[in-house]
Structure 1
C-alpha cells in the first residue's frame, strides 16, 4: 500500500509539471496583446495636454515678517508658520509669577489648533491665530492658581484630505506659590 501511494504521488507531480510546461509553452506562441483604439486615443489626448505647472496655481508668497512677538507684515500660510508661532508664543505669551510668588507643581495639558492648509493669510490674521491659541491655553488652565510657562508642539496632521491641518500643543502650567499671603482670617 505504501508503494502505491508513493507511485501515485510521483505520477501526479510529473503530470502536473508536464501540464504546466505545456500551458506556458502554448502562451508563448500567442501574439502580444495590442491596446485597443480607445486606449490609444486616451494616451494621445493625455500627451497633447500641457503638463500641469505649479506656477499656474495660486501660491502663497510666505514673506511674512515678525518681531519675535507678533507678525509685522507680509503674507503667509498658518500651517507653514506653525513652528514660528510656537516660538513666538514662548517668547511673549508665557507668564511670570508675581514678585512675592514662586513656582510649585507642574501640570501639562494638550490643546488642538486647526489651521487651513490652503489659505494665504496676512499678518493681522496670523496674529489673530496667535491670540486664539493663547486664549485656548488660558481657558485650559487647571485653576486660576496656575500660570502658563511654556508651549511645545507635539505633532501635526491633516484631519481629512482637504483639511484642516491640526497641530497638537502641549501647554506647561506651573502653580503659583505665594508667600506673605494669609492662609486664613487675621485675628487681632
Structure 2
C-alpha cells in the first residue's frame, strides 16, 4: 500500500472516529438508558420496543387499574412475590418512591404474582408497612407469564423475581431490570428523566 493510500485510509478512519465522538459529546450522558445499573444488575433493553398493550389489573383494595390510563407519565411496573426475599427489600423503596414523586412525573405500580390468595398478599403488604404504592393482582396470569415457554400470551415475561418493566411516557415498553434495584439513586433519577422524554 502506498503512503498516499495509507494516508487516505487513516484520514477516513479518523473522520469516522471524530464524527462518532462528536455525536457522543452532543448527546447528554443520561440519554444512554443502557448505562443504568445498580452495581449488581443491568437494564435489559427490548428490541424492538413495543407499545404498552391494553392491561387491566385488579387492585388489592378492590376495583381495577387500567395501565393505559397512566400514559403520559413514565411507569415502573414491578412484579413481586411474597416468597421473594429481594422483593421484601425492594418494595419499601418503591413505596417511598411512589410517595415522593408526583403522578405526572412517574407512576409506580407493583403486581403480586401470588395468584390465588388476596388475603395473603394483604398480610404481606401490611407487614412491610407499604402505604402509597399501588398493589395489584394478576389472578389469572393474563398480564405476566413465567419465562418458561409455557405457550401463554401474557404481555410481560417474568424472568425472575422481582422484575421491573420500564415504560416511557409515550407508552413504549423500553426494557426490564431483574432483581432489586436502588431506585433512589441518582442514576435511577437520570433513567426516569429519560423515560419522561421518550
Q: Tell whether the structures are fold-level matches, with TM greater than 0.5.
A: no
TM-score between the two structures when normalised by the length of structure 1: 0.25
| RCO comparison, higher one (Cα < 8 Å, 6+) | 2
TM-score between the two structures when normalised by the length of structure 2: 0.25
